[in-house]
Amino acid sequence: YKVKYAPFKNERNNIGGLIIVFQDMTNEHKLDNMRKEFVANVSHELKTPITTIKSYTETLMDDGIDEEMEQRFLAVIDNECDRMARLVKDLLQLSNLDYKKTTWKKQEVSAKKLLKEILLKLEFAFKEKNHKIIVDVEENLPNIVIDKDGIEQVILNIISNAIKYTENGGEIQISSRCLDDTISIKVKDNGIGIPEEDRQRIFERFYRVEKGRSRESGGTGLGLSIAKQIIEAHNGEILLDSCFGEGTTVEIKIPYEKV
Ligand code: ADP
């Protein structure tokens, strides 16, 4: 608590009492810590690829390196540059969302058509990991008014996570239903799951359960926090349910206009 006090005088100009104000600083402290943690995370995420790039270029500048090795080193450098570019892109998007600078281009979209387009883009990723995919979309879903690119990014991220965090040959179910006044889109996997102690923090920036696996698959650790902000800008909800070792379900609910 921060304490401020001031005396006040009575009608005879004597000190009549003391006003004491207790200010709860818990939120300020939390915000301050979050800011510090964020800067530490960004610095760390950038430092790792920079260190790699630096040591590989130094080796490349040495004499006596054969052509095959040279190509291998260049590929590593290229990969690390891509990682930094992804990170900066995600950070810029978060900053635009924070400062409400994102311009939403809302348009009427059929959820069924949107899901079809997204699944087409992920076809290769599904095949690569040999996952079985089950799609179950309710007939006659009402259209939703959304920023198509934004919502597509959210769904792509959720399905990509399901693919990434499920061992080869897994099963991913994608379903869409019409609820009272929202459209629900659910992605259920039978992958590694998320331990209970990590579940509440999973939408925080840079929070990852397994840093190694996330980095290996090119993740920035910002996907779900961006997804949450995009969904909230649509007055929707994003929910996560998971059982460690059994699988994860992520659901988004987006309101639609009733006609
Ligand atoms: P990343 O780029 O690391 O995938 P996200 O913000 O998309 O970042 O996800 C944050 C973390 O949540 C991931 O690093 C992973 O630990 C966990 N996670 C997300 N989706 C799943 C899932 N379907 N199954 C298991 N863990 C998941």
Q: Tell me the ipTM for this assembly.
A: 0.98
Decide: 229 in ligand 1 pocket, CB within 6 A.
no
Decide: 49 in ligand 1 pocket, CB within 6 A.
no
Decide: 247 in ligand 1 pocket, CB within 6 A.
no
φ, ψ dihedrals at 155, nearest 5°: -65, -40
Question: Residue 8: what pLDDT?
Answer: 86
Average pLDDT on 243-252 reads 97
pLDDT in tens, 80-134: 999 999 999 999 999 999 999 999 999 999 999 999 999 999 999 999 999 999 9
0.95 cut: is pTM over it? Answer: no
Question: Residue 46: what pLDDT?
Answer: 94
Which of 214, 217, 239, 241 most suits a substitution to test ligand 1, by most atoms within 8 Å of the C-beta? 214
Q: Which atom of ligand 1 is nearest to the CA of 226?
A: 6
Decide: 190 in ligand 1 pocket, CB within 6 A.
no
Residue 170 tokens read as 């897994």
Q: Whose CA is nearest to atom 3 of ligand 1?
A: 221
Decide: 219 in ligand 1 pocket, CB within 6 A.
yes
What percent of the chain has a predicted confidence (pLDDT) above 70?
A: 99
HEC string for 114-166: HHHHHHHHHHHHHHHCCCEEEEEECCCCCCEEEEHHHHHHHHHHHHHHHHHCC
Q: Which atom of ligand 1 is nearest to the CA of 162?
A: 23
Q: Whose CA is nearest to atom 7 of ligand 1?
A: 223
189 - beta bridge partners? 172, 248
In order of 60, 108, 111, 174, the CA distances from 74 in angstroms are 8, 45, 42, 39
Decide: 224 in ligand 1 pocket, CB within 6 A.
yes
pLDDT in tens, 27-66: 888 889 889 999 999 999 999 999 999 999 999 998 888 9
| Cα–Cα–Cα angle for 230, 165, 144, rounded to 5 degrees | 30
